């Protein structure tokens, strides 16, 4: 199997009654490659997984906006959620070098281009 | 065979299947959801309420939280991060100012309200005002002692 997980840890929560939703994503083309930014509020590194298999990048994350102990629900606009989204990676991107970070409920995934396809400054030799 | 739109660095592999299924299952595609932000959960116990609101990417410092008697107002602005010099390929995350007002079922002890932010989720603990908590009412009787 050519797939591998990047170190955002594995999902540990159950996903029984969760609503599957596609998180909104911003995508940027940078000098190094592609930056993907997704809103996944309520996810921790433990409830989020990012997997690359062949040329597919899959994000999955669980979040619950649950009651503190002893509290009853009066209004519930946020159900327990399973964020699910997949992307096809362009052939010039390097799936082996993906890195990810999570902050304030926002997931940022950096996907560098392969060395051959990265922009490079060409020296002009003078004689 | 997948065809690439020129501008898209990435494309949803499952756009035609999984995401449409998501939509059918939940009717809740946040990319199409504009009006209500933030979405709120409200929990109650005898002593008070806890309000829970996902606010991804909004730093606590840019949230304006006010409480007046039984009305809580959340205001702020979403300003998504954009790397300098990068080309925008896709922009789905919402931006701009937001405001939401919630009338709580009982008056709040405003001086004891506490708020915290974790993993992009705001939690506000709202103790009920002592005047609003249950109180035993004495029933006066007329006439002299029997």
pLDDT in tens, A46-70: 999 999 988 899 999 999 999 999 9
Question: Do strands A72-76 and B41-44 pair parallel, antiparallel, or not at all (unpaired)?
Answer: antiparallel
From first to last of its 146 residues, chain B has per-residue pLDDT tens of 333 333 333 444 333 333 433 343 344 444 445 568 999 999 999 999 999 999 999 999 999 999 988 999 999 999 888 888 899 999 999 999 999 999 999 999 999 999 999 999 999 999 999 876 666 777 888 876 55
Distance of CA B117 to the CA centre of its chain: 11
pTM recorded for the entire structure: 0.75
Residue B119 has its nearest CB partner, among A34, A42, A72, at A42
Question: Do strands A81-88 and A19-21 pair parallel, antiparallel, or not at all (unpaired)?
Answer: parallel
Contact flag A28-B88 (C-beta cutoff 8 Å): yes
Question: What number of C-beta contacts closer than 8 Å exist between A and B?
Answer: 170
Q: Which residue has the tokens 């327990």?
A: A80
Q: Which residues of A touch B86 (CB under 8 A)?
A: 28-30, 35
CA distance B39 to chain A (A): 6
CA separation for the pair B21, A46 (Å, rounded): 26
CA-based nearest residue to A24, from B63, B42, B120: B120
Neighbours of A116 (CB within 10 A): 8
CA separation for the pair A48, A44 (Å, rounded): 6
User: Does B34 reach chain A within 8 Å, measured CB to CB?
Assistant: no
Contact flag A42-B120 (C-beta cutoff 8 Å): yes
In the numeric block, which tokens belong to residue A18?
């969760």
């Amino acid at each position: 199997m050519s797939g591998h997980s990047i170190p955002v840890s594995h999902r540990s929560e159950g996903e029984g009654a969760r609503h599957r939703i596609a998180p909104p994503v911003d995508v940027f083309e940078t000098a190094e490659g592609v930056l993907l930014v997704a809103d996944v509020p309520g996810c921790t590194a433990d409830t989020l997984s990012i997997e690359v298999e062949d040329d597919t990048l899959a994000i999955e994350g669980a979040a619950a906006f649950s009651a503190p102990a002893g509290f009853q629900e009066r209004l519930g606009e946020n159900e327990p959620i399973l964020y699910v989204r997949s992307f096809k990676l362009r052939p010039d991107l390097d799936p082996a070098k993906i890195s990810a970070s999570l902050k304030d409920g926002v997931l940022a995934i950096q996907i560098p281009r392969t060395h051959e396809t990265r922009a490079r400054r060409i020296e002009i030799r003078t004689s | 065979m997948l065809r690439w739109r020129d501008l898209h660095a990435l494309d949803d592999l499952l756009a035609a299947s999984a995401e449409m299924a998501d939509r059918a299952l939940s009717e809740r595609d946040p990319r199409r959801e504009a009006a209500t932000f933030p979405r709120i959960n409200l929990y109650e116990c005898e002593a008070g309420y806890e309000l829970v609101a996902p606010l991804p990417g909004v730093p606590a410092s840019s949230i304006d939280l006010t409480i007046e008697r039984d009305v809580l107002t959340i205001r702020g602005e979403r300003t998504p991060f954009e790397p300098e010099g990068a080309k925008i390929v896709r922009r789905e995350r919402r931006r701009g100012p937001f405001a939401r007002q919630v009338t709580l079922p009982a008056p709040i002890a405003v001086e004891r309200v506490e708020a915290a932010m974790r993993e992009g989720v705001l939690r506000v603990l709202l103790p009920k005002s002592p005047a609003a908590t249950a109180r035993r009412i004495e029933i006066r009787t007329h006439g002299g002692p029997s």
